[in-house]
Every structure is written in C-alpha cells, then in structure tokens.
Amino acid sequence: MSSFVLHNAPQSTCSQRVRYALHAKGIAFEEHKLDLFSGDQLKPEYLAINPNGVVPALVHDGTPVIDSAVILEYLEDILPGTARMRPEDPRETAKLRAIMRFIDEVPTPAIRVPSYNLAFLPHFQAMSEVDFQALCDSKPLRREFLMKMGRTGFPKQDMDEALGRLTRGVERMARWLEESGGPWILGEDISLADVAIMPVIVRMDDINLGGIWQDYPAIGAWLERIRLTEPFPETYYHGSLLTEKYPHLAALRNERMAEA
C-alpha cells in the first residue's frame, strides 16, 4: 500500500490542485475516487478522515491532511527540494501566500456558482424537497451554499456576483503576470500560486466563460502553457472536465469554438 492515499473526485477543482502537485513532485499515490452525488464524502469512513465532508483529503503514512491549500503547503514542507513550488526567500513566500489567500477567497468560491447552475443543477432538480433538505442538512461545510441555491438554481443576482468575482480574479491574475514578467505568476518558475488558480481558469474555459479574459491575452497564454506541463494530462484524466460528463456543456463549448 502506498504511503500516500488521495481521497478526491475527478471534477473537484480542489482535488485537481492536489493531483497536479503530487504528479509534479513525482509522488506515487493511491487514488480513491469519491462519487460526490452518491454521498461518498458523507459516509462515516470518510468523515473519520475529513470531518468537513469535502474533498480532497490526503492521508500520508496514516495521518490525514485536509484542505487543498494546506495539502499544497504540506507537500512543500515534506519535499522542499523536489519540484520546488514555494520560494526560499521568506518575503517571496509571504507574497505567494497572500496571492493564494486572494485566490481562495475570491475566484475559487465564485466558480462554484456557475458550475452548479450550468452543470450540477439537474441532479438537485430531480430530488424531492424532503430529500434535498436532508442533503443540505448533511453537509458540514456546504449546507448554506446549497440552501441558497435551492432546487431552482442560483438567481441572476448571485450569478452576476459570481461573474464579477471571477472577473476580478482574472484582472488580478493579469496584474500578477505583468508585474512578475511571467511566464508564471511569480516569474520564471511555476509556483503554488499557479497550481492554486489553475482549476478556476480551466473550469472557466470549460464552461464557456473564457471570454472574461478576452482583453487579457496573458491569461490565455498562461492557460496554454500550463496545459503543456507534464503533470497536466495526468491531473486532468478523462472525466475531470465537466464537458466530458455533461453533453450540453460540450455542445455549447463546440459551438463557441466553431464561432471563434
């Protein structure tokens, strides 16, 4: 049995961060794929690992490490010399952590709103009110989020707010790239900042929100660059993109690409 066991879900953006870091560092790990719509993350055996009932969770030599941002830092702590993605200079590390805090507070939660409305909503619409309420009540961290969405989806006001936050995230990312000189957020070397924001940008492109950075070509160039990195295809294996699971999203994406 591997000393690293990753409990995650293919389409989970936070899981994708951790998969990328593990592959980048060449860490062999055992992957447990959870079916979130079947409630695998709420089963007692998983809650014993992660009482928050969300993915991912990394178990290293029997010790659980939870929260994707914490896991990214943990991997740097235990393997600082392998595919280093955190600066050695404490001042640069502080800058990195401030960037990651912004990513986790602004664009990362915002991408959930269009993701749920455009892809996941049918799962909840098919449920009865009683079953939906029970589902909400079972979520340690996502109860209020699901309650706000309801079985009819997030209203226009919430979608507009989420799109505004995503736009601010893109604008801030473009500024980081300009200030550092690129090609990565902190400059010449890929860092945890790139890994942290990667799933948001990939998801935006996948669900036809890439037009948000049409005035910021550096973002499109960054996306193409990270897709060419060795860990990317290992991270985004088939089934990791929403368009690979939801045909209506794939049709919209193909239509957009045909018009481009």
Predicted structure pTM score: 0.93
86 phi/psi in degrees, rounded to 5: -135, 130
Q: What pLDDT tens digit does each residue of the chain (260 aa) get?
A: 579 999 999 999 999 999 999 999 999 999 999 999 888 999 999 999 999 999 999 999 999 999 999 999 999 999 999 999 999 999 999 999 999 999 999 999 999 999 999 888 887 888 889 988 998 898 888 888 889 888 889 999 999 999 999 999 999 999 999 999 999 999 999 999 999 999 999 999 999 999 999 999 999 999 999 999 999 999 999 999 999 998 878 777 777 666 66
Please answer whether residues 85 and 33 qualify as being in contact, where contact means their C-beta atoms are separated by less than 8 angstroms.
no
What superfamily in CATH does domain 4-78 come from? Glutaredoxin (3.40.30.10)
Topology of the domain covering 90-259: Glutathione S-transferase Yfyf (Class Pi); Chain A, domain 2 (1.20.1050)
Residue extents of the structural domains in the chain: 4-78, 90-259
For residues 244 and 118, what is the distance between their CA atoms, to the nearest angstrom?
14
Q: In the chain, at which residue ranges do the beta strands (DSSP E only) sit? A: 4-8, 30-33, 57-60, 63-66
For residues 117 and 163, what is the distance between their CA atoms, to the nearest angstrom?
12
